[in-house]
Amino acid sequence: MVHFVGAGPGAPDLITRRGAALLQTADCIIYAGSLVNPALLGLAGPDCAIYNSAEMTLEQVLAVMKENEAAHKTTVRLHTGDPCLYGAIREQMDALDAMGIAYDDTPGVSSFCGAAAALNAEYTLPGVSQTVIITRMEGRTPVPEGERLAALAAHGATMVIFLSIGLIDRVQDALLQGAYTAATPAAVVYKATWPEQKIVHCTVGTLVESTRAAGITKTALIVVGDFLAAQYDRSKLYDPAFTTEFRRGTDR
């Protein structure tokens, strides 16, 4: 059996208990070495075989899974954050289906949640934005026409941009073509939840210069929107006037 596991954003104690238990009992771990904290490999048993997928192709990863399955061994495929975002798990799952190998998926804390925690921020503030757009700038990996950053920026919603810090010039240009202005707050979060975490507060207009000044070139998220500003409405849910299924408000 193959277990896909979300490693969390970096801090080793942010993996789920289920994910940690799977690492402890795995016969083999294939981890995404470019981003997964190697400290997690310390959970592996002494006889566990460990592979770094950063140095492997999809075919090589599948070959290791197939070999383990034939020997009735358990493989953990350890992806950074949550495997469902930019994890390239679908192609692995489809191949495993074709080979008749069973698998399951254990979620993890995505880096976009790690970044919000680092910022002490709420992405969905009443009166500001009730939508989070998770996206990336097109680079060597194309993005569908209708999802170009400039088009998504038209919504002015909270935006979290993955995999794009190396294209920060183009990100800034695209954001300014939408509903954001040069004064819209933004932040760059480098290695959220790792000891070397860095946070840069800036605006859309100063994204490029602030990122350069901080020397951030990889492993970062760009977050944009007025959720980083001071103004918002208080929640209805906790408003004394508001009646809910669990609490009678003063409006009744």
Smaller CB separation from ligand SAH, 218 or 236: 218
Structure tokens at 81: 């954050």
Q: How far is 171 from 94, CA to CA, in rounded Å?
A: 33
Structure tokens at 64: 């290791």
Residue 47 CB, nearest approach to ligand SAH (Å): 28
Which residue, judged by CB position, is nearest to ligand SAH in the bound state? 81
Structure tokens at 214: 């901080």
Residue 162 bridge partners (DSSP): 136
**Based on the number of CB atoms within 10 Å of its own CB, is 103 exposed (0-12), middle (13-18) or buried (19 or more)?**
middle
Smaller CB separation from ligand SAH, 68 or 110: 110
Q: How far is 221 from 110, CA to CA, in rounded Å?
A: 11
Give the residues lining the site for ligand SAH (CB under 6 A).
9-10, 35, 79-82, 85-87, 110-111, 114-115, 162-163, 189, 191-194, 219-221
Smaller CB separation from ligand SAH, 43 or 113: 113
Residue 218 CB, nearest approach to ligand SAH (Å): 7
Residue 80 CB, nearest approach to ligand SAH (Å): 5
Residue 102 CB, nearest approach to ligand SAH (Å): 23
**CA nearest neighbour of 194 among 114, 82, 137:** 114
Residue 54 CB, nearest approach to ligand SAH (Å): 12
Residue 30 CB, nearest approach to ligand SAH (Å): 15
Smaller CB separation from ligand SAH, 69 or 105: 105
Structure tokens at 121: 């921020």
Smaller CB separation from ligand SAH, 65 or 109: 109
Smaller CB separation from ligand SAH, 108 or 178: 108
**CA nearest neighbour of 19 among 93, 160, 37:** 37
Query: Residues near 156 by Cβ (< 8 Å), separated by ≥ 6?
Result: 129, 178, 179, 180, 225, 226
Q: How far is 76 from 74, CA to CA, in rounded Å?
A: 7
